[in-house]
Structure formats: structure tokens, C-alpha cells
């Protein structure tokens, strides 16, 4: 009898996970507005999810302490040379989940940007690397701050550090994932979004 109960419980857990995935597929990503004290862009502007319409998108909701888990996605973007004009790559930093002060998180984002700029400029043989302004042809993450867990509440998500959502050009969720993506999964997603962006 106990064995039957364990099997039944395991089945219900698997069903719950399946329902979580199916319930979000082909649903429109919720209308979000992040600005002011609630978050927004690193420059202090307001971000609205309606801006995603017209191009496919990968949205990552991530606890800032676990950003390194997105490295497989970043490597796949680099390897596949995804054009910046073909898709949105949005990284929403759920700063409320982090133990770090907001200023420390912001400083980390600023440093990552400056380091990337320096490396690219150095590779191009430009001496005054930190003062270079150049158009970015490859896709990269656009950083958005969520200081009040608005995204997590709107999508009824638990405290998993990393959530990923794949959207079509109409803003519908066509796939989702929670946890640490593998290299194979990341490449599959990037290829799918690249194909949709070129179609």
C-alpha cells in the first residue's frame, strides 16, 4: 500500500511539472512595466514588455547571484553570431532575490559592460578603448532591473534562481525552462530564435 502511495505521489509531481509547462506555452507574456523605484533600465528609463512585439525573444528572469548559469546561452549567441536586429535577449534581474545591495548589483552590470567594451576595442586594435563608441552587430543581453518581484508575481513563479522563456514575434510563450540550461538546450533555443528572426 505504501509503495502504491509513493508511485501515485511521484506521478502527481510529474503531472504538476507538465501542467506548469503546458499552461504557459502559447500564452501571451504578461504586460509588464518596470520603472522608477520598481526597476527599469540601467540608465533609469522605464521598460515595457510590449516593446518585445515584432521580434522573437529570449527572456531570462534571474537572481543576480546566479547570472553565471546563463553562460551556455551567451556562448551559443556568440557561436551562432545572432544579429542584434533579429531578436530580443532580455535579462531581468530579480534584485529582491539577491543578498547583495542594489548598488553592488548595478556596479557589477556597469563593470561587465566596460570590460566587454574594452575587450572588443582591444581586439580591433583601438588604443583608447574606454572611449570607443561602436555599433553592436551581434545580439547581447539587454539588462532590466526588477526590484519588487513584479515579473515573478505576474507569472506566479517560485523562487527558482533562473527562469527562461522563449517568445515568438507576437509575444506568445512557445517554450520555457527553469534551472541551469545545458549547452545543447541553449544552442537549440538560440538556433530556433535565429531561424524565427530570419523568417
16-20, 37-41, 143-147: range with lowest mean pLDDT: 16-20
Q: Is residue 17 part of a domain?
A: no
Q: What order do you get walking across the sheet with 162-167 strand by strand?
A: 27-28, 172-178, 162-167, 57-62, 88-94, 142-146, 39-40
Q: Are 196 and 87 in contact (CB under 8 A)?
A: yes
What does the pLDDT look like over 41-79, one tens digit per residue?
A: 988 899 999 988 999 999 999 999 999 999 999 899 888
Residue 21 lies in a domain: no
Task: Select the more confidently predicted residue: 100 or 183.
Answer: 183
Instruction: Yes or no: say if 60 and 157 are a contact pair by the CB < 8 Å rule.
Output: no
* pLDDT of 18: 38
Residue 53 lies in a domain: yes
- Residue 148 and residue 98: Cα distance in Å, rounded? 12
In a domain, 9, yes or no: no
Grid coordinates representing 178 are: 527553469
CA 117 to chain centre: 21
CA atoms of 11 and 6, how far apart (whole Å): 9
pLDDT at position 195 is 82
Residue 47, domain extent = 27-198
83 pLDDT more than 90:
no
95 domain-assigned: yes
CATH number for the domain spanning 193: value is: 3.40.30.10
Q: How far is CA 57 from the centre of its chain?
A: 9
- How many domains does the chain fold into? 1
**pLDDT value at position 133?**
36
Q: Is residue 180 part of a domain?
A: yes
Amino acid at each position: 500500500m505504501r509503495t502504491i502511495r509513493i508511485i501515485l505521489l511521484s506521478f502527481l509531481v510529474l503531472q504538476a511539472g507538465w501542467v506548469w509547462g503546458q499552461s504557459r506555452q502559447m500564452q501571451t507574456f504578461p504586460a509588464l512595466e518596470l520603472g522608477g523605484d520598481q526597476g527599469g533600465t540601467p540608465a533609469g528609463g522605464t521598460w515595457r514588455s510590449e516593446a518585445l512585439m515584432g521580434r522573437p525573444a529570449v527572456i531570462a528572469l534571474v537572481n543576480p547571484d546566479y547570472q553565471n548559469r546563463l553562460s551556455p546561452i551567451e556562448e551559443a549567441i556568440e557561436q551562432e553570431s545572432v544579429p542584434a536586429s533579429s531578436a530580443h535577449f532580455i535579462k531581468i534581474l530579480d534584485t529582491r532575490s539577491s543578498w547583495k545591495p542594489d548598488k553592488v548589483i548595478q556596479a557589477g552590470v556597469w563593470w561587465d559592460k566596460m570590460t566587454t567594451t574594452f575587450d572588443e576595442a582591444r581586439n580591433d586594435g583601438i588604443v583608447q578603448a574606454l572611449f570607443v563608441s561602436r555599433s553592436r552587430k551581434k545580439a547581447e543581453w539587454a539588462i532590466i532591473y526588477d526590484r519588487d518581484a513584479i515579473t515573478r508575481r505576474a507569472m506566479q513563479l517560485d523562487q527558482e534562481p533562473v527562469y527562461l522563456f522563449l517568445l515568438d514575434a507576437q509575444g506568445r510563450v512557445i517554450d520555457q525552462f527553469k534551472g541551469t540550461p545545458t549547452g545543447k538546450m541553449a544552442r537549440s533555443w538560440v538556433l530556433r530564435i535565429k531561424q524565427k528572426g530570419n523568417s
